[in-house]
Structure 1
């Protein structure tokens, strides 16, 4: 086959290019025309839409709002990017307006803007939180009559009325009735503050004025009240200065109690007044010095009162803790000295205790028993060797008495002697087996007495066993047997 000629190939290529250009021109003629020769009417509408958006005219009934103008451009040219971006800016502006209206509790405006946002196809996930806030505010708005009635109720306190008015304004910030009512209540409160100032109750008046400022800093009556408050503060400062000078004179004259009282009055109004604090501490130091002297003279009651007063004036006063410790030690030393005078009674007490031990009067009679005598002796001379010797004699005698009582089957004597051992050594675990053994002996004796039809003695024995060992497993059976022997009807078991 003969090769194609270059001229022929170039001819076919040119024809193909021309055909492609003709097709492209036919398809893109209108868009290219708009690009190369834009419609001046669309540009005018875009400029007008941008200007309306800048003025905040998002929509207008006459069609000259930003939304209407952008939509008109898009109707003519759906691909117009500037108009699409303009509508996006409108959606963002509407969301801002809704949030601002909700914060200001302008519910109708918020409701209108939410409708606009829905018509602009704002995504539901952006609208839903705003709709929920509007619903909550609508519910609160339904309580407006209730709150208004509470605020205007006869006998309502200023606090109650203000709370009700504030609840209304939290929902409807521009509510004229609530604004006027709150202003009237705050005005009466400022009048009360003025009256308190005439009574020199400065702190209470200050609190009222501060509360009014917090609720309505632009209240018309505030300047007058604040001016009166300022004058009262100046007068109070002058009074405190005079009181401070008088306190200092009393302190120099040695009249600590009077000076301290005046220093405390100054500090009650001005806790940061350093001069008054230092003066009060100086008065406390003077009392501390006097208390130390009273301790040295063994006037402990006066020293105790003085230290308590000093502590109330200056809790962190240096030397106060040491003085109280010194007072306790001095009292203890005096008590020991007094005890020494009682030591002369010790031999007689121990002799009486020995006599009671020999007659087995370990716990009886009260006040004259061996145990009572030994207890008094221990309070006088707890470390006495002679006392310890008699205490050991007590233990040996009581133990011997207990054992002999068991041997002779004199269980009453054995129990009394065992109780004497428990009294002197209540924590001695070696006495536990002896108690259990004695309880068993009482139960055996009760059983014997039941057999002899001596029910009275059996009952005493059973009660004694129960007093010694209430957990003994034989008690219930022995009780049932005794009641049966006595002819007492038994309770039926279920």
Structure 2
């Protein structure tokens, strides 16, 4: 049978024709642009001229003259008609700016002038319209009246306390008339007075008010003649305050240290040293609370805890001190507190012997229940004030610090975390703990970054969780989290 009589051949041919027809319908515009680009360019030019005649110079939906001519130029960068069309659009924008200016429609005049400048009209023409526009706006706004109000506000002492104060009014005048001498001189004098207020605040020790005044003055005129000296005076006061805060903390005058660090943070909220200082003071209060709790001085422990929590509500050291206080109260209430002295001594000697054995084995945090750490906790519960227990506590703390440092040197973050947790539980807020916390969090991030570079995103996410739990204020957390998200966006 001939091929042309085969029904299957006809069915395949009809299907192919149907697909071809659908393709031509759907992609007719891109295909036409590809095969006959000249036709598309001419169409864009015609649309651009039509929009130009209609006064529709620019439109967000792309139907304006500017957008049509730019589209034609994108298809053919050498097309002179498109460049001529854009130049004509710029001239038309200047005309619209003049017309809007004459009619008192100042926002429309500025919009048309911005379009004309974007289309690179002659600068002199645009500048003339700009100057006329400013003069009209100034007259419309009542410059002289604004200057009178500003001068009166300054005489009344209202420099920057609202929209009708002297400095905001001078600023409005200068927006309309940047060269107005009366406004420039009035602003300069008002800023001199504002900076004098800042120096007065420094003299009475109100650094937060002084810093706010200096920042407001900089917002009006960063080049004011009195600003550098006032800023330098503020910086010197902040340095003295920081020194006083650190000295008070070293001498364990915690109330004074807390006030100084809080004053520093109020003056410079973004200063990392101020927030870190408050965290360290809170940790010192936590250590006081833990020591008081160990001696069953619960009232003193609670007072120290309240002060620490007020400074750093999310402090891990404060949370650990709360747990230490709870354990001390439970210890006092347990039947062990009522055993005979002989029985307590017998139990304590056994615990101290077990502790020495764990120390000899190097079992500082493992195995659970038989480690030096767990055995020491049991001894503290039984006899928290015993001098032998206190001595053992110092030995174990020193060993835990060595354990932490050794694990960090070996890059064994899990072991370092275990030693750190035990160290933190025994001495919340102890010396070196804040620095250790930051180092451990940063090491987790470093190890996570290394594993992430090797493609192990799962471990990297775990490292991020560990670091955030250890020290949520670690500076590198945000950058590592962004990198992790960029490499695994679906997680």
Q: TM bucket by the smaller chain? A: 0.3 to 0.5
Q: Which one has a bigger Cα radius of gyration? A: 1
Higher relative contact order, chain-length normalized (CA < 8 Å, sep 6+): 2
Give TM-score scaled by structure 2 length.
Answer: 0.35
Give TM-score scaled by structure 1 length.
Answer: 0.35
